[in-house]
Amino acid sequence: MQVGIKGEKKFTVTKDQLACNVGSGLVSVFATPMMIAAIENTAAGSVAGELEEGKTTVGTLVNVSHVAATPEGMEVRIETELTEIAPNGKMLTFKVAAYDEAGLIGEGTHQRAIVAKERFEQKAQSKLSK
């Protein structure tokens, strides 16, 4: 894996992605949590093919501003770029941005950790037995 890997995802904002329908506000515009989910999905997808078998990435930090509202029916484009790989090779930092047809709607950084999927899930499930 190398710094510089880019990801891009385009989609049209639907009714189920509006703030008033996801519990993040009362307005009928693209919800911040949905923008963040799209950013995470795009970043994860951009590096998925570079991971060893049995490995995946999990989000650990999102530092993103949501600077403009997007109505239902408008296209959104998410762009991510891997800008840093920690010396231990396990933490990935991405520069991220979101745009609608009128321009920039969000930007910032996102970090993901490389984990062994099965072990990670087992550790989470073990909390149920405590």
d(CA 23, CA 45): 26
**Model pTM?**
0.95
Active site residue 72: no
Q: Which of 42, 57, 66, 110 is catalytic?
A: 66
The reply to whether 32 belongs to the active site is yes
* Structural domain contains residue 75: yes
Residue 1 forms part of a structural domain: no
pLDDT tens column, 51-97? 999 999 999 999 999 999 999 999 999 999 999 999 999 999 999 99
Number of domains in the chain: 1
- Comparing CA positions, the residue from 95, 89, 88 lying closest to residue 111 is 95
Which token pair is 21? Answer: 């329908």
Query: In CATH, what number is assigned to the domain containing residue 51?
Result: 3.10.129.10
Question: Is there a catalytic annotation at residue 75?
Answer: no
Q: Is residue 41 part of a domain?
A: yes
Is residue 119 within 8 A of residue 56, CB to CB? The reply is no
Has residue 10 been placed in a domain? yes
Expressed as residue numbers, the domain containing 97 is: 6-129
Report yes or no on 110 lying in a domain.
yes
